Amino acid sequence: MTAPLATRMLTADAASIGEAARCLAAGGLIAFPTETVYGLGADATDGRAVARLYAAKGRPAFNPLIAHVVDLAAARALARFDADAARLAQAFWPGPLTLVLPKQARCPVADLATSGLDSIALRVPDHAVAQKILSAFGKPVVAPSANRSGHVSPTTAAHVLSDLRGRIDLIVDGGPTPVGVESTIVACLDEPTLLRPGGVAREAIERALGRPLLQFEAAAAPDADDVPLAPGMLASHYAPHTPLRLDARTVEAGEALLGFGPTTPAGAEQATGALNLSERGDLTEAAANLFSHLRALDALGARAIAAMPVPHGGLGEAINDRLKRAAAPR
């Protein structure tokens, strides 16, 4: 991040809720209470805002985020619900349950927010302030817990301030959060699977389903938000079909070019296609473009994608992490 922001803290009321919605629409970052923990919200459809959110949290990697929506109808615009998912949404929304579902083909959520995956995590929070912000804003809001990466989740506005002062625009103070642990995460991609224990008890979910949940082996601790919950399976990393050649300083015949910065590498004229993550070398812009550019270049059917080097500072660490994973042999 560049210059520190003047983080404002406002008590939750009609004026501050309106301010939060305006701030989201302007690409800003706002912390707000949900029934579980305070979330750090950004416009889910704005890749630049999502990139700023990762930078503010200091996440070492782009872990996929939960998109918060006002109701089931808004959720259906983003993801496909099978019968189990519909039953769980019916039983527990609004409330501390997150469902990981197949993304709709025309889902407007930024690729960066879902780490380029074909699935999306959705939740309808049961908190008056969160509900009012979502309905005033009118679009999905991605919100990880509003703590610095590696710290515990905040349950008061003061926790948020001590972690994120100077890094976000606004904190809406709605008092302590009632549940105090994060939402339970269940994937309904195939057989319903518990990915993270949380605010809704497993037994209650199993009663609603009428059968036991599968348990994801390495189900992360509730506050381990930097650890992908299911690296090998559900949250497996986005990987292009086209081989990726890292740290490319030249382009070979038949390759597509993933550029970074103002320099054009030797051989660029023979590229089958070229996209630049950020011509001005801006890492926030590069993060916002990363997954969509990879997808677009992958679709060209080139021999390989030559990815120019990206510096390692700030968001560069996460960008390089994802490029390395995308390049890993399969």
Residues that bind ligand TXA (CB under 6 A): 34, 36-37, 39, 63-66, 98, 100, 114, 117, 119-121, 123, 143-145, 182-183, 185, 195, 225, 228-230, 234-235
Residue nearest to Mg ion as judged by C-beta position: 225
Minimum gap (Å) between residue 40 Cβ and Mg ion: 9
Nearer to ligand TXA, 61 or 297 (CB): 61
DSSP string, 91-113: HH-SSSEEEEEEBPTT--S-GGG
Nearer to ligand TXA, 127 or 271 (CB): 127
Minimum gap (Å) between residue 206 Cβ and Mg ion: 25
CA dist list (Å): 102 to 42, 99, 118, 126 = 22, 10, 6, 23
Distance CA 273, CA 257 (A): 6
Interface residues with Mg ion (CB under 5 A)? Answer: 145, 225
Minimum gap (Å) between residue 9 Cβ and ligand TXA: 18
Minimum gap (Å) between residue 135 Cβ and ligand TXA: 16
Nearer to Mg ion, 43 or 225 (CB): 225
Nearer to Mg ion, 94 or 222 (CB): 222
* Tokens matching residue 33: 């209470």
- Partner whose footprint covers residue 39, from ligand TXA, Mg ion, none (CB < 5 to 8 Å by kind): ligand TXA
Minimum gap (Å) between residue 317 Cβ and ligand TXA: 17
Helices of type H across the chain: 14-25, 47-57, 72-76, 83-92, 128-137, 157-164, 202-209, 283-298, 316-327
Nearer to Mg ion, 145 or 284 (CB): 145
As a whole number of Å, the end-to-end CA separation of the chain is 34
Contact assessment for residue 193 and residue 213, using Cβ atoms and an 8 Å cutoff: yes
Q: Please, which residues have CB within 8 angstroms of residue 211's CB and are 6 or more apart in sequence?
A: none
Rg (CA), the chain: 20
